[in-house]
């Protein structure tokens, strides 16, 4: 499955209990970016030093209104591990993933984001 790496443009070390946007298609230039690009999944690989929460949202009006569709805790990984999450995004006009920091400033925050293209043929 082909994939596209996405650059995280947020803060280097999330602080306090602040909310940080990890990924947001409403900031991209084209409407229906995910379906137009044939993207199915958003993969996020993060190494973090303190706990946090992921919250993800969908929007049908280019981000004017967001509806939360999921939430999950992000634990501190073992010394040589990372937290990997996989989000199905193919059905959404716009999708946003937020990192809600757990109250303590991260001393380690390394993040890799990629979009995975569908391996289905067109029309399936």
- What is the average per-residue pLDDT within 17-33? 92
From the list 53, 43, 44, the residue with the least C-alpha distance to 76 is 53
The residue with greater pLDDT, 75 or 122, is: 75
Q: First-to-last CA distance in the chain? A: 16
What is the domain partition of the chain in residue ranges? Answer: 3-117
**pTM (2 decimals)?**
0.91
**Average pLDDT value for residue range 32-54:** 94
**Of 5-14, 63-72, 112-121, where does mean pLDDT reach its minimum?**
112-121
CATH 2.160.10 is right for the domain spanning 3-117: no
Distance CA 32, CA 8 (A): 20
């Amino acid at each position: 499955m082909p994939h596209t790496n996405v650059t995280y443009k947020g803060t280097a070390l999330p602080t306090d209990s602040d909310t940080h946007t990890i990924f947001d298609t409403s900031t991209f230039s084209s409407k229906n970016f995910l379906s137009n690009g044939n993207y199915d999944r958003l993969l996020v690989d993060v190494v973090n030093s303190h706990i946090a929460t992921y919250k993800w949202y969908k929007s049908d009006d280019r981000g004017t209104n967001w509806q939360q569709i999921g939430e999950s805790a992000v634990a501190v990984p073992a010394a040589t591990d990372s937290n990997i999450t996989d989000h199905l995004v193919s059905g959404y006009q716009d999708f946003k993933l937020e990192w809600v920091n757990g109250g303590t400033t991260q001393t380690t925050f390394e993040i890799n984001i990629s979009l995975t293209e569908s391996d289905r043929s067109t029309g399936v």
